[in-house]
């Protein structure tokens, strides 16, 4: 069992803070979604296959939703129930979306309807999108709606190590990408969603039209801020972890470099500091056709980048704009 720790008590400077447990008794919590209809209700995704409800600071015993175990796979440590997003119209249509691993290892993006704020209608499940995963890792997992009302899906490069199929740089696959689809309008023929007409690769025979950006290794978590900027935490291989920041006025099409680049330099397999690549400037990145990261740090000893938020609240002044 794990605890979710979300509270912060600030004593003066930003360095003098302490964290307090919010709730405990969860199993492998990986995503946390606030209910826009109630300040006291939150949904927590458990990788093991359930969505739990927190109300008034306590976990309800009955889950909001539990996956159908006949089509669910949590054998790999990056597989399972991985992400959740509430529809922009959730207050009236009660729709929400989940990202999970199917029995065959493929990624499933599904839509469901909440019967009540505490219970989802399992029979309402509708498959929106599926795509194969060649390996058990680098499944991505997040689902987030942008300020444009589109659903953004980070896919991961398919797994193994060092992007063996070069999916990150290929436009003929959904892997290693940030996808952007319309799930609230009229679906395209033969699909459960529409491809936005302004996606950057629409009309190209050599590219999947769902692609919004590419060159990503495993964008496990990402978030939009109040300005419409997209903060992408991309998990690195063995040397560097990085944060990519897409501006609010982006037209899409950014190439974040994987697996040609990692962090601020060229990608090199292994982790020896003796073989670290030369650090390139943002201008040198762009001269090669890549968008540079906003920030990067060494994987060793700090570990992988597993997400975060850009804080814009008023409750903890020392954290604002961090």
DSSP string, 63-109: -SEE--GGG----STT-SEEEEEE-TTHHHH-EEEEEEE-TTS-EEE
**pLDDT computed for residue 18 by the predictor:** 77
Q: Is the pLDDT of residue 10 over 50?
A: no
Q: Is the pLDDT of residue 155 over 50?
A: yes
**pLDDT computed for residue 262 by the predictor:** 97
Mean pLDDT of the residues in the chain: 94
CA dist 218 and 262 (Å) reads: 12
The stretch 162-173 carries a mean pLDDT of: 98
The stretch 101-111 carries a mean pLDDT of: 98
Q: How far is CA 307 from CA 30, 123, 166, 173, in A?
A: 10, 32, 24, 24
pLDDT tens string 288-308? 999 999 999 999 988 999 888
- Res. 180 pLDDT band, cuts 50 70 90: very high
Q: Is the dihedral of CA 71, 75, 78, 84 positive or negative?
A: positive
**pLDDT computed for residue 2 by the predictor:** 46
Q: Is the pLDDT of residue 189 over 80?
A: yes
pLDDT tens string 207-239? 999 999 999 999 999 999 999 999 999 999 999
**pLDDT computed for residue 1 by the predictor:** 45
pLDDT tens string 58-94? 999 999 999 999 999 999 999 999 999 999 999 999 9
**pLDDT computed for residue 14 by the predictor:** 55
The stretch 110-129 carries a mean pLDDT of: 98
- Res. 15 pLDDT band, cuts 50 70 90: low
Structural domains in the chain? 23-132 (2.120.10.30), 137-322 (2.120.10.30)
- Res. 6 pLDDT band, cuts 50 70 90: very low
**pLDDT computed for residue 256 by the predictor:** 98
**pLDDT computed for residue 307 by the predictor:** 82
**Contact at 8 Å (CB) between 232 and 252?**
no
Please tell me the pTM assigned to this model.
Answer: 0.95
Residue tagged 């054998």 (tokens): 75
**pLDDT computed for residue 58 by the predictor:** 95
**pLDDT computed for residue 36 by the predictor:** 96
The pairing of beta strand 177-181 with beta strand 230-234: unpaired
């Amino acid at each position: 069992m794990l605890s979710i720790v979300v509270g912060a008590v600030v004593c003066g400077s930003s360095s003098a803070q302490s964290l307090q447990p919010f709730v405990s008794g969860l199993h492998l919590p990986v995503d946390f979604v606030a209910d826009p209809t109630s300040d006291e209700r939150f949904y927590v995704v458990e990788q093991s296959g359930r969505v739990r409800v927190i109300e008034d600071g306590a976990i309800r015993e009955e889950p909001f939703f539990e996956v159908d175990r006949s089509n669910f796979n949590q054998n790999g440590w990056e597989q399972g129930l991985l992400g959740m997003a509430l529809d922009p119209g959730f207050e009236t249509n009660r729709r929400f979306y989940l990202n999970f691993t199917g029995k065959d290892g493929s990624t499933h993006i599904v839509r469901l309807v909440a019967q009540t704020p505490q219970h989802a209608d399992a029979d309402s499940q509708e498959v929106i999108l599926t795509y194969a995963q060649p390996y058990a890792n680098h499944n991505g997992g997040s689902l987030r709606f942008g300020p444009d009302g589109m659903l953004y899906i980070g896919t991961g490069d398919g797994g193994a190590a060092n992007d063996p199929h070069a999916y990150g740089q290929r436009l003929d696959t959904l892997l290693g990408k940030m996808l952007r689809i319309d799930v609230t309008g009229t679906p395209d023929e033969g699909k459960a969603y529409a491809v936005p007409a302004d996606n950057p690769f629409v009309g190209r025979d050599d590219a999947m039209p769902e692609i919004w950006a590419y060159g990503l290794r495993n964008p496990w978590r990402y978030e939009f801020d109040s300005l419409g900027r997209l903060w992408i935490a991309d998990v690195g291989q063995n040397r560097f972890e990085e944060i990519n920041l897409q501006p609010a006025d982006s037209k899409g099409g950014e190439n974040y470099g994987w697996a040609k680049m990692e962090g601020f330099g060229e990608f090199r397999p292994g982790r020896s500091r003796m073989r670290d690549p030369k650090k390139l400037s943002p201008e040198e990145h762009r001269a090669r056709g890549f968008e540079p990261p906003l920030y990067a740090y060494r994987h060793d000893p700090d570990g992988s980048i597993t997400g975060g938020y850009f804080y814009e609240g008023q409750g903890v002044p020392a954290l604002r704009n961090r």
